[in-house]
Structures are given as C-alpha cells and as structure tokens.
Chain A
Amino acid sequence: MRILIIEDELSLQQQLADELRKQDYVVDVASDGEEGLYYGKEYPIDLAIVDLGLPKIDGVEVIKQLRAQGLAYPILILTARNRWQEKVEGLESGADDYLTKPFHPEELSARIKVLLRRSVGLADSTLVCGPIKIDTSSKQVFLEDQPLTITAYEYRLLSYLMMHTGKVLSKRQLVDHIYEEDDDRDSNTIEVFIRRLRKKLDPDASLKPIETQRGRGYRFRIPRN
C-alpha cells in the first residue's frame, strides 16, 4: 500500500514517514502543495495524508484538484486547524477523514487502516479469499487458519493482489505499490516473490491462487468470501 504524505513541517513529515514505513507501507513525501499534487496525480497512490496549510498550493486546493482528476483514493486531512468551519471546508473539498494536530500516532495508523479497508470495501480488518486469510492490522497471513511466515515484501504483494482480486495487475503496478521511489526497483523480483508466495500458499499446487497472464501480469483468482 502506497501512502503519500504532504506536510511542510519537515520533522513531522520525517516522523510520519518513518512510522508508516515501520508499518510496512510504501511512503512518498512532499513538502508543498505543488509537489504533493504532482505525486498525487502521477504515482499509484492508495491513500494521501494532506496538511491544510501548505506552501505554494493550499491543501484544500490540492484535494479539490486530485478529486477533479477523478482520483478516488482516500484522503486524510492532518492539520492544526480544528475549528468546525475548517473541518467542513476540508471534508467538502473531497477528503474522507480529518485528524487534528497534535495526534496520537496510534490514532493516525488506526484511521489509515480504516480508510484503506473502506476503500476496498472491507467491513473489518480481515480479508478472506477461500482458505487464505490476511489480517490487515496485524499483517499476518493464515492458510486454513494456520499462520504463515511471510516477509514484508511478500505481504505487501499478497495483500495488494487480494484487495484487487479478479483483476489483472501488471508487474509495473505491483512494483509501484510495494517499492519506494528510491528502492532498487527490479521488476524481475516480482516473479521471485510470486514464486515464493505460490510455494507458501499452495505447497501441493492444488489451489493455484495466483494466475500468470502472459505479457499482462498477474491475477488473484479466488474471489473474496
């Protein structure tokens, strides 16, 4: 899951990014409205955290422009302005949630999880496709209710595939959603991760949860329960 942080206060931006990376999100950061708008439009973002008082382009304007582009990913406003007039303005511009500074880091990550879940239409934090279950809050994977040992990259890949089950996802898309900008991005590693996931999820090759669509990408085959 790829999260964009648009925040001009650098120490807070850094702190947020570190915290979210620790929670296994892919994080992009922008320090002003212009940069934020660029990332928001050009990158495959899954959720954006936007401060309202931004240099160059105001946060509300950034949100309006993102929505005007037809981008529907959840947006969370993170701001020091906590008068209702400002909350209303922010939410009316197209944001989905509003968190005022200062905030508990735990509260922020809880809100992010809820928003991401809601954006893919999940009622709670678990996502079940046949015998495979992931818990998006503890980031655990279960096969027939047995916990699997899984790496962070594998988890990111699997959860992304499962959240978009039935859809063909290109290697490029998958890379974008599991790697940071400056990571070593080699799309061949996707094949490696897919192979490993298949081995872990389907040791006797009977379930075949992940299909390879030649030249197009991969598809998670089992529908959500």
Chain B
Amino acid sequence: MNSSNYSLRRRLLLSASLLLIGFLGAMGVVLHNTFEQSVLSNAQDALKNQVLLLMANIDVVDQSVIVPPALSEPRLSQADADLFAQITTPAQGLVWRSDSLLGAKLPQLESQLGEFMFQKKVNITDNLAWADKPKLYSMTFGAEWESDVGDLPITITVAERTGAYARKLRDYRKQIFLWLSILGVALLALLLSLLSWVLKPLSKVATQVEEIEQGKRRRFDEEYPNEVSSLTQNLNQLLNFEEQRINRQKDVLGNLAHSLKTPLAVLKGISYSDQNKQDAQRQLEAMQNIIDYQLQGASAVGRRRFAKPIAIQKPTKQIIDSLQKLHADKQLTVVKQINDDVVFYGDQGDFMELLGNLLDNAFKWASSQVQVIVTNGESISHRSALNIEVIDDGVGIDPELKTTILQRGVRLDSQTPGHGLGLHIAKGIVEAYDGELSIEDMAPSGTVFKVVLN
C-alpha cells in the first residue's frame, strides 16, 4: 500500500474520531445535566414534603413552638440518620432541632414568608460530632403561625444528606460513560469497515500500479467506480500512448534504416574506376556505419518504467544456436551458465541485440571456447539487476578499441568508424539502460565482457 492511500485513510479516521469524541462528549454532558436536574427536583420535592409533614406535627402555644417527641418521620429521631430538621424564630433563635442533628446546627437562609428556599451542598457546622462535614441538600420554609397572642414567624429547615442522590448520579454517570463508549467504539468500527470498503478501489489501483511496474499486468482493469475510473482510464491511455510512441519510433527508424540499405548495397556492388574506388568505398562504409549504429542504435527501447520481465534462457539459446551456425567452421565449445528463472526487465529485442553483439564478438575471436554467464543481481524497486559475462579465449581485445568503447558518452560518429561496430552497438544498449560495461583481460589469454543492467 502506498503512502498517499494511507494518509487518506488516516485523515478520515482522525477527523471522524475527533468528531465522534466531541459529539458523544457533548451528549454525555447534556444527559448528565438533565439527570442531575431531575435528581435535584426529586430531592426538593422530598424535602418540601418533609417540611410540610413537620409543620403538620408542630403546634404553637404562647409564642413558643411545641414539637411532639414522637414524630411521624422516625428518621428525624434517630442518631446517625440522613435526615435533619430545625426550627427557628426571629426572637428566640433556634427553638427546636431534630435528634438526628446530634446537637449541631444547620446553616440557615433568610426565608421570605411562605417561600421555599432550596440550597445545594450545605455543611453541618459547629460540632465535633460532624467532623466529616457531610454534604446536605437543605430546604428552608418561612411561615407565620397564627395564635391568640399574635402571629409568630417561624423558619423551618429540613436537610438531607446528598449521599443517596450523589450515588445515583455517580451510577448514572458510569452508565452513560459505559454506553457512550460502547457506542463510540461501535461507530468507529463501522466507520472503519465503511472506509476500507470506500477506499478499496484505491488500494486496488495501488496494487495494480505495482503489478504494472513489475510487468505482471499491462493495463488497469475496467471495473472501477466512476471517480476512480476516470483516473485509471487516463492512465491506461497514457500507457497505450507510451507503447505506441515507442513502437512508432522503432518502426520509423527501422524502416528508414532498411530502406537506405538496399540502395547502399547496390552502390557497393558497382565497380568504380581505380581512381575513385577507395574514396567511394570509404564513404559507403561510413554511411553504412551511420545507418547501423545511429539508426539501429536509436531504435533500442532502453529502460522503461513499466517493463515486463522476460525469461532470457530461450533467446540466449537461440542466439548461441544461430552463432554456431554462422561460425560452423570454428567448432567452438560454448559453455552456458544460465538458470531457468533468470529474467530481464526490458525489451527482448534489446537483450538479443546486446547479447548477440557480445557473443558474436566472442565467437569471432575465440580460439576454442566461449563462455556466457547470466544471473540476476539484487533487486532494486521490484526489478532485479541483470549480470552478463561473456568470456572468450582469444588473443584479447585491441587496447585502442577497448579505450574507445569504455569512454563514456563517446558516440561512434566522433570515432574512427568500421572497427568493433557490434561492440559499440552493445555499449549503446547498455547506456540506454543506465548499465555498466567493463572489459577485462583473461589469463592466460582472452577477454571478459561484463555487463550490469539495473
């Protein structure tokens, strides 16, 4: 998989995750607040009822509040309970408190007459018994008690520990968190599978590009979604165009070379006067070399991005068979070391031209044996290098020819023509593939031509 595909997937995943976290987080907050509101209003209702219940229980006699010892709410009488109450009057201050308060006092709000005041998170203060300062919800109610001696304003405060409510809230929070997390993970998983389904054509493109690079495939498939097929079809067209261009160039140059050669053959066959003969032959020779080297050489395809691997065992054998026919009189031994799986990423014609010229040279000079070794080297970006060694046991290469051939970028037209043309053509092909050609002397006699094509 290539990196642009990766980053597309990563981008989508990242943005979707952020969106999900934000959305689900906000949802969690809203749900929590709503539940908290309902919990608080439950608490308020419960406290109001307690206030009203307490008011039903008390009586006022002679400006003093009388609370019966046995209240209808037993929790108020228990120590260590979670419900508390106290009654105050403006004149006397605290007139009653529940036993559950253990002598402490509830913080109290100034309450308007006939008005409930709710307060969250108040603490019991003032007493060592409540060192843990329990958190409370409190409800304060201001009332005016009518009596014979006049109205008595009293303030009733009821408070309840928040514990039960807080536990409820905590449980609820846990539940929300759990379910929202499950929802988030499920959505992400769904998104992931959707993503890979949506991006599948792109990974297919990547795979096919790789296959085309390796030469296992010539074109992209036709079956792609619209958005991708416009891309792949364009690429297919490009590949077609490239192939056609190469073939056209090859054809044009090949035809030009062929059509020039026959008239040249006729010219060569004409008997010239002794005076002109040498000049004519020299010029004809030069023309022939230009055609052979420049035109033929230019029709070499050279290295291409999308080259099919060709097995080279067969063409090599064909060339050797042909050469043995052409040099039948020499009776040479040919040693061939090529495994069946050796491949060349390039044009078959180029390979045959290269090996043909190297081997032809070897056959020409060898005295008894020609050796050819072809192997695949390490692979660079899907394609393996090709190593060719052609060894003859002849008298060795002319040092001058060796120098001309090894000079980089020296074209034949700037050289003395007619000498080692085949080797120059071979070198041209090696250069078209950005390869390396080296020539070594063999002991005791002979020459080794080494070619590395990447």
Contact = CB atoms under 8 A, between A and B. Distances in A.
A86 B401 CA distance: 27
A83 B301 CA distance: 13
Contacts of B269: 12, 15-16, 19, 105
Contacts of A80: 257-259, 261-262, 265
B190 interface: no
A97 interface: yes
Contact of A97 (B267, B319, B325, B357): B325
B353 interface: yes
Given A80-B258, A91-B326, 6 more contacts: A12-B266, A84-B356, A87-B356, A88-B319, A97-B326, A103-B268
B435 to A, nearest CB: 17
B441 interface: no
Contacts of B315: 88
A119 to B, nearest CB: 11
B180 interface: no
A88 B284 contact: no
A84 B353 contact: yes
Contacts of A82: 292, 296
A114 to B, nearest CB: 7
B262 A101 contact: yes
Contacts of B397: none
A92 B322 CA distance: 7
Contacts of A97: 325-326
Contacts of B270: 15
Given A91-B325, A92-B322, A102-B261, A85 B266 contact: no
B406 interface: no
B318 A12 contact: no
Given A102-B268, A102-B288, A83 B353 contact: yes
Nearest to B354: A84
- Secondary structure at the B interface, as helix, strand, loop or mixed, is helix
B284 A83 contact: no
A174 to B, nearest CB: 29
Interface in A32-71: 53
Interface string B319-336: 101100110110000000
Nearest to B353: A84
Nearest to B329: A114
Contacts of B259: 80
A98 interface: yes
Interface of B: 254, 257-259, 261-262, 264-270, 284, 288, 292, 296, 315, 318-319, 321-322, 325-326, 328-329, 348-349, 352-353, 355-357
Interface string A1-45: 000000001011001100100000000000000000000000000
A104 interface: yes
A22 to B, nearest CB: 11
A173 to B, nearest CB: 27
A85 B352 contact: yes
B357 A84 contact: yes
B430 to A, nearest CB: 15
B150 to A, nearest CB: 129
A195 interface: no
A46 B319 CA distance: 27
In the complex, the 6 A-B pairs of residues with the closest C-beta atoms, listed nearest first: A84-B356, A80-B261, A102-B265, A102-B264, A101-B265, A80-B258
A12 B264 CA distance: 10
Contacts of B267: 102
Nearest to B264: A102
B265 A103 contact: yes
A9 B258 CA distance: 12
Nearest to A97: B326
Contacts of A216: none
A81 to B, nearest CB: 6
Nearest to B268: A102
A154 to B, nearest CB: 27
Nearest to A104: B268
A191 interface: no
Contact of B322 (A11, A81, A83, A91): A91
A85 B353 contact: yes
B321 A118 contact: no
Given A92-B318, A96-B325, A118-B328, A101 B261 contact: yes
Interface in A95-123: 96-98, 100-105, 114, 118
27 contacts: A12-B262, A12-B265, A53-B258, A80-B259, A80-B265, A81-B254, A83-B349, A83-B353, A84-B319, A84-B353, A84-B357, A85-B348, A87-B322, A87-B356, A88-B321, A88-B352, A91-B322, A91-B326, A92-B318, A92-B321, A92-B322, A96-B328, A97-B325, A98-B322, A100-B261, A102-B264, A104-B268
Interface in A184-203: none
B215 to A, nearest CB: 19
B265 A88 contact: no
A9 B262 contact: yes
A92 B356 CA distance: 15
A105 B268 contact: yes
B106 to A, nearest CB: 107
Contacts of B261: 80, 100-102
B349 A81 contact: no
Contacts of A9: 262, 266
B281 to A, nearest CB: 9
Contacts of B329: 114, 118
Contact of A15 (B266, B284, B348, B352): B266
